Structure 1
Amino acid sequence: MNNKSLKKVIFGTQPITIEQVVAIAQGEVEVALQADQDFRARIQRGAQFLDTLLDREGVIYGVTTGYGDSCVVPVPLHQVEALPKGLFTFHGCGMGKHFDAAETRMILAARLQSLCFGMSGVRFELLERLCAFLQHDILPLIPEEGSVGASGDLTPLSYVAATLSGKRQVLYQGEVCESAQVHQQLGWQPLVLRPKEALALMNGTAAMTGVACEVYSRAEYMLKLATRITALNMVALEGNVQHFDERLFLAKPHLGQMQVAAWLRDDLDVTETSADQELFCLNGLHRLQDRYSLRCAPHVLGVLADSLGWLRTFIETELNSANDNPIIDAEQERVLHGGHFYGGHIAFAMDSLKNLVANVADLLDRQLALLVDTRYNHGLPSNLSGASKEVAMINHGFKAVQIAASAWTAEALKNTMPASVFSRSTECHNQDKVSMGTIAARDARRSLELTEQVAAATLLAAKQGVWLRQQQGSLSINARLVQMLDEMSETYQPLLEDRALEYELRHCVEQIKQQHWSLYA
């Protein structure tokens, strides 16, 4: 990924993008708060308005009442200061593994940007401390499991509120330590959260939105990588490039589908002249149409390409919104009780994305199956083995890799069941319809991980297939494909006799995750 143009991300009144959140997660940019007095005053007005209401003993959900179903329980003014601490304390019941460092940075960024909207009733000091956590890379240890996605990510985000208050544990300078210890080391006083501040931190969609930014970025790259792998497989399998003819796709002009076909034409040097040569002769047979995993690759990948636009809109709208409750409108001096913590848009986006990427896994898995099978690979050795004739019978090439890729694909396909339809009534039926957005985001991330594994397997097999085809005689390949294959050859040598490929597969998956190869402008 190239984020050289993203020198600094400013949190404030201007929207931020998925790319900026990803750059923050990868430590590629500095972060800062908008510095002007108008912005500071706008934030402070919300907190001051709440103080004014408290002086009048106004009834404010989560400030002078209990939470959730306990909203009918009044909290006397002398107990109001204790309420925020109680909220993040009793929500400290998360389970499962912790979000990794990059995801935690995304979660902090998403929460900070939402609070910068200026309708959450928090002090400017809270924004400064949240920004300082990002600047000093102080990362709360946030368990992944325990959110139903409404009232927002309460349990995961309680770990943000708690660590800002000097409670629980953080990852700092590579070590897990107590938040209070880090505050002391930096000469900071832990925050004493004011009325509404714990609720403003917790009652939002930052965990699911942060993970959604990561998943989107990886899926966008997977679209391009799957297209490049398809091009390599077209070369290895001597496919019919006429399938990607520009005039053909003008007859069904889905824009993303057309873009994928255009990328393939560029990679395969398809011209009007080459497209006219639609009859291939191999072993005396004419082959007009490749199998669907090659011929229909633009149609499969095009669905993902055409969906990225609205997926981005859903995610970035959520990212740049006030998504807690109640909303504090200091300008009109109103407290608006609503349900902006509901993560339905993120849930639907993530449920949709895991379906889209599982289809990519299935496409690449089918291409890999063609590569290893002598009935369909048009003269390549069985299982792509590069072994000499003398030892060919005891070498099995990519046989096991194809089996493993099939297993990963099956798991990705199994994972396409939408999480958002599994709403559960919680909290004494106060939260009786919930989004399951965080579960959907975690599911989508898992589907991406599996698809990246399938892509790594198919990419290494495609490289082997092209190499084997080169051994059979002269082969004309586009310069971009040659450059990528040459770069890969520094790490991934041709498979002559069998070797365990786990390390190479893991290394390739990591390169995919880091978006190592530059693919298409």
Structure 2
Amino acid sequence: MNNSCTNVLFGEENLRIEDIVALAEQRAMPVLSSAPEFTTRIQAGADFLDRELRDHGHIYGVTTGYGDSVSRRVPPELVAELPLHLSRFHGCGLGNLLSANQARAVLAVRLASLCTGYSGVSLNLLRQLSGLLEHNITPLIPEEGSVGASGDLTPLSYVAAALIGERDVLYRGEKTTAEDALSKAGLTPLTLRPKEALAIMNGTSVMTAMMCQAFVRADYLCRLTARITSLASIGLLGNPAHFDKRLFAAKPHPGQARIAAFIEGDLADLGANYTPARLQDRYSLRCAPHVIGVLADMMPTFRTTLETELNSANDNPLIDIEGETILHGGHFYGGHVAFVADGMKTLIANLADLMDRQMALLVDTKFNHGLPSNLSGSDADRASINHGLKAVQIGVSAWTAEALKNTMPASVFSRSTECHNQDKVSMGTIAARDCLRILQLTEQVAAANLIAVKQAITLRLKNGEIRDAQLGNDLTTFLDALGRDIPFIAEDQPLEGTLRLLVDRIQGRHWALYGEDIAS
């Protein structure tokens, strides 16, 4: 990963998923456009709302209640208080808090949406949102409480609260009040203008932020699973011919072919002296490109959908500045993000299932072609008391089962809520949370498999069944890096610390893999 800090410009070009992730990981800083076209457009939206309120006095969410309460008129003397009430009564989230990285991603995605200029917000609001990112002020956002339409109301209320100096935040990693954090950063609590609480809260930014982070993790996991398959194939004396480019020219799904090419390249140095144990390997080796390749082929579609959402105006109502019209719609509905999350999580769980089967072959003497039981590296006279990776393989089975269980699509579980005003909702945020959970579990499976393939290949090398030169430069470099983190397991030992370190490595995209992203 590149640790140099860059700038991400808001208000001109469309942002990419990687921009949001860089801001979330503090590898980039936000910069609001100073172009006259941008500042004029933002100011025009705010000015139009002021004129509309003055001349006509009736605007949804400004002089009316929210949602089913749209028929409730708000008298002029209470209009200024209405945004505060929206932010406060939604302060009822529960569950785990989003991580600081996730909260920063939420701030960045919401800023991107409001910078499209359709929401009628002020430049001061955009500057305050940008200021939270610049000064590392992250709202403490509970992850539960959104049905994904009318957007992520409850979790985004914690963003609105931070902007106005209410509730708790992290300031440079330390918990404090929002009021205190703003003061230390030299920022003034924002006074919300009419509609601004609605503009902040009534959108898909939490689910979209989660899925931007899920996207980069899925991309890396896709490539890592290919590398693990290469190493598992060597460890099991598999047949490299299964990955021949001519095979994949006959069934030319491009992502599938790229995965096969990755694996074929990894195995290219095995040479003529290498003899596979079987003519046709079991499916978890032979069909690995067909499993991994589905995710690889869908990633460009996932990118297009997420980046369209990221760069969209997704609150309600919207402002047509040129036509000076208020447009009432339902862009807060998170159906597209929900579909990406439900689709991606199924494909990721299939990676867990694939690696689970590969590990089951590696540890079982009935299938591993001469490797010791559970890959134990103990001396023969101590084999009776050593159990190698037996428990780790059980853990892999447990993590895989949980990942597969969570693949039930969340988007089909719409619930009518809010007095039947929100009678069809997306469940996009729940789908995104499921996706992140499945990613975590699958990354744990990958961590365990890294231990297994490293142990298997070390045993093959020790026994002279393969030689270092047959591994090639890329695999040798990768195995050397693994060797700095993974001990050779000669005697039974706790492996929790090693597994946690490897999961951190995976989530930090620590190893260079094939020199390209799947969906770049």
Please point out which of 412, 419, 427 is paired with 1:436. 427
What corresponds to 2:165 in structure 1?
166
Structure 1: which 5+ residue stretches go unaligned? none
Cα separation, 2, equivalents of 1:448 and 1:496: 31
Structure 1 range deviating more: 488-497 or 238-247: 488-497
Please point out which of 484, 493, 497 is paired with 1:499. 493
CA shift for structure 1 position 281? 6.4
| Structure 1 counterpart of 2:473, one-letter code | A
SS of the counterpart of 2:412? coil
- Structure 1 residue 74 corresponds to structure 2 residue 73: yes
On the 8 A contact 2:485/2:502 being kept in 1, the answer is no
| Structure 1 counterpart of 2:471, one-letter code | I
Cα separation, 1, equivalents of 2:456 and 2:180: 56
CA shift for structure 1 position 270? 6.6
SS of the counterpart of 1:390? helix
CA shift for structure 1 position 291? 0.2
- Structure 1 residue 229 corresponds to structure 2 residue 220: no
What corresponds to 1:327 in structure 2?
318
| Superposed CA offset, 1:89-134 (max 9, x none) | 1000000111000000100000000000000000011000100100
- Structure 1 residue 243 corresponds to structure 2 residue 242: yes
How do residues 42-61 of structure 1 correspond to structure 2 at under 5 angstroms? 42-61=41-60
- Structure 1 residue 514 corresponds to structure 2 residue 505: no
What corresponds to 1:414 in structure 2?
405
Structure 2: which 5+ residue stretches go unaligned? 516-520
How do residues 67-466 of structure 1 correspond to structure 2 at under 5 angstroms? 67-269=66-268, 280=275, 282=277, 287-466=278-457
Cα separation, 2, equivalents of 1:395 and 1:183: 57
SS of the counterpart of 1:32? strand
Cα separation, 2, equivalents of 1:270 and 1:307: 30
On the 8 A contact 2:237/2:276 being kept in 1, the answer is no
TM score, norm. by length of structure 2: 0.97
SS of the counterpart of 1:391? helix
SS of the counterpart of 2:43? helix
Cα separation, 2, equivalents of 1:169 and 1:426: 28
| Structure 2 counterpart of 1:480, one-letter code | D
| Superposed CA offset, 1:262-304 (max 9, x none) | 0011111179x86xx9x9565xxxx210000000000000000
SS of the counterpart of 1:10? strand
CA shift for structure 1 position 443? 0.4
| Structure 2 counterpart of 1:108, one-letter code | L
What corresponds to 1:490 in structure 2?
484
CA shift for structure 1 position 14? 1.1
SS of the counterpart of 1:477? helix
Cα separation, 1, equivalents of 2:72 and 2:55: 18
| Structure 2 counterpart of 1:467, one-letter code | T
Cα separation, 1, equivalents of 2:321 and 2:207: 28
**Quick one: structure 1 residues 219 and 504, their matched pair in 2 at CA, closer, same or farther if it must change by over 3 Å?**
same
Cα separation, 1, equivalents of 2:10 and 2:418: 34
Cα separation, 1, equivalents of 2:132 and 2:487: 44
| Structure 2 counterpart of 1:482, one-letter code | T
Cα separation, 2, equivalents of 1:39 and 1:236: 58
CA shift for structure 1 position 145? 0.4
| Structure 2 counterpart of 1:520, one-letter code | Y
| Structure 2 counterpart of 1:405, one-letter code | V
Cα separation, 2, equivalents of 1:386 and 1:268: 25
On the 8 A contact 1:62/1:196 being kept in 2, the answer is yes
Cα separation, 2, equivalents of 1:269 and 1:18: 34
Give runs of ≥4 in structure 1 deviating > 2 Å.
1-4, 183-189, 279-282
On the 8 A contact 2:148/2:429 being kept in 1, the answer is yes
Cα separation, 2, equivalents of 1:313 and 1:143: 28
On the 8 A contact 1:3/1:23 being kept in 2, the answer is no
CA shift for structure 1 position 37? 2.2
CA RMSD of aligned residues (A): 1.4
SS of the counterpart of 1:497? coil
On the 8 A contact 1:57/1:77 being kept in 2, the answer is no
Cα separation, 2, equivalents of 1:56 and 1:86: 24
Cα separation, 1, equivalents of 2:135 and 2:348: 35
Structure 1 range deviating more: 104-113 or 34-43: 34-43
Cα separation, 2, equivalents of 1:56 and 1:480: 69
| Structure 2 counterpart of 1:188, one-letter code | L
| Structure 2 counterpart of 1:393, one-letter code | S
SS of the counterpart of 2:8? strand
Cα separation, 2, equivalents of 1:165 and 1:345: 31
On the 8 A contact 1:294/1:367 being kept in 2, the answer is yes
CA shift for structure 1 position 374? 0.5
What corresponds to 1:481 in structure 2?
475
Structure 1 range deviating more: 165-174 or 365-374: 165-174
CA shift for structure 1 position 72? 1.1
